[in-house]
Each structure stands twice: as structure tokens, then as C-alpha cells.
Structure 1
Amino acid sequence: MDALSQKELDHAENEVNYSIPQKVYWQKLAPWSNSLLSFGQVVKHCYRPFLIMFSIPALFTIAIEYGVVTASDSVVALTVVRDVISTIIVFALQPWVDRVGLNRFYVTLGLITMAIMIGNLLFIYSGKTFRVKPAGRYRHFAA
């Protein structure tokens, strides 16, 4: 920790380049926009990671060895969670519909879905705050 200066650890200082024009509201909402990069520069960003991976043997070995392990564990976990949720829905759906009726079932399911979507909006709007709060603890354990 002594080797790093306080300025390197202090991430509160942000430099904003005000010469870059800010987009208007409707430009920010566009599903796609033109980039200032040329097509060649975009292609370069697509193939450079592969050049780095194949030119450094240790990096290639680590990517092949641990990439497969990480991917296989992720696929197994995702499959198990998906199947558990599907099983719960299959066995709980019909008794639920029989008990409350089809109309109230759809209303309740819609409210549950809306609650999940509102949770997503919460993370979209407050995600940076949620990441900033534990930053000090992260720096402590990363050092």
C-alpha cells in the first residue's frame, strides 16, 4: 500500500472534457448511432484480443484451461436454476389457478412481473451508487 500514492488510490477526481458536445435528449434515446471510428478501427478492436491471446503462450494456455472450466460451471449453474424454476412453475401453476381463478392469477402474475421490472429499473438508475458504496472495502482487500 505504501508503493501506491494517495492520488492513485483516490478515484474521486474525475476529469471531464467539456469540449465534447453533449447529445440532445432524442439522440441519447436512439437505439443505434454513428461512430466517429472508421470501420478499420472497429475491426481492429475485434481481432486484437485474438492476436494478444495467440501471441502470448501463457495467456493462451490460461484462456483455454480456465475459460472452459468457468464456462462449464456457469452452464451447469444456469441449467440447474432454470430447471428448478420450471419445476416450481409446473407444480404450482395449476393449484394456483384453481384456487384464485384465471383472472386474479393473471393480475397477480402481472404484479409479480412488474415488481421484478421495477427492481431492474432500480439497478439501472442507482447501480452506480450501489457500486460506489463498497469501493473502499474493495480497495482494502485489493491492496
Structure 2
Amino acid sequence: MSEEIYNNETSQDEVSAELDAMVCDLIDDMLNGLADGEDLGVVLIAEDVNGNRYQACFTEDGPEACLEGAQHFIEANAAGIQSDHVGPLDRYAIAYAGGVELDCEFQDALIVSFYQRGMSMGYSAYVLYEGAGTGEDFRWCDPEPAGEEPALL
């Protein structure tokens, strides 16, 4: 048991299998929506320690307001989302279609931020894509790290 505690403390910034699966689900959903030409807005997924999941889309306002709304939702509901039988939030991911500047050129990208309790900070990644709305011709790259972010929990 003490070895387990030690391992959790020393590897706290490693992405758990649960967080990885949740982030992959979100990326897959977002990429499928982009391939179909859908405007998905800002999407968040939050889970409790038992894997009970809550998902929401923020589309009513501009992109910045939707992102702020998703972030505020996580902060305001850290104790859980009782209406959906989700206990205290253990991990979350937030994604939206945006862009990144690489080699002095703006490129379309799916931006994802994520965090799990026990990590010292949140992280973000991006997935470059092209051909939104082209179905089978839609293309994307593997996720790339984008940096650290403050944790919302």
C-alpha cells in the first residue's frame, strides 16, 4: 500500500488511462463533427473517479465566451453534477476548433485542454486538420503538445 501511495505522488503528472481515454473520445467526436462540417462550439467532458461522465456543448455565444463558459462550468461544478449522477469531478477535457501559428503561418487546429486531480497543472494539445466539411477527404495529424495550463479543479 505504501508503494502505491509513493507511485501516485511521484507520477502525478502522468496522464492516467482514464484521462487518456476521455481525451481520445473527445478528440474523436470533435474530428468526426469537423469532417461532417458541424459547428460544435466548445465541448467539455467531465468525469468523476468512477467514470461517470457529463458532456456539454457551448454554442450560444462567441468562441471566447463559450470557452469561458465551459471553464466556469468546471469550476462551479467541481463538487459534482448531481442531476446527471456525476460525483465530485476528478478529470475534465475541453475542446474547440481554433488555430495555431506554426512557421509564421496560421493553421486550423482542434485545441484540447485537460486535467486530472493529483496533477500539478493542466495541459493542452492541438490536432492540425484540413478539409473541414469534406467528409472522407477530411485529414488530420496526430496530437501535439501545446503547453501547460492552470487547473480548473
Q: TM-score range by the shorter chain?
A: under 0.3
- Give 1 or 2: higher strand fraction: 2
Q: Which has the higher helix share?
A: 1
Q: Which has the higher contact order (CA 8 A, sep 6+)?
A: 1
TM-score by length of 1: 0.24
Larger of the two Rg values belongs to structure: 1
Q: Normalising by structure 2, report the TM-score.
A: 0.23
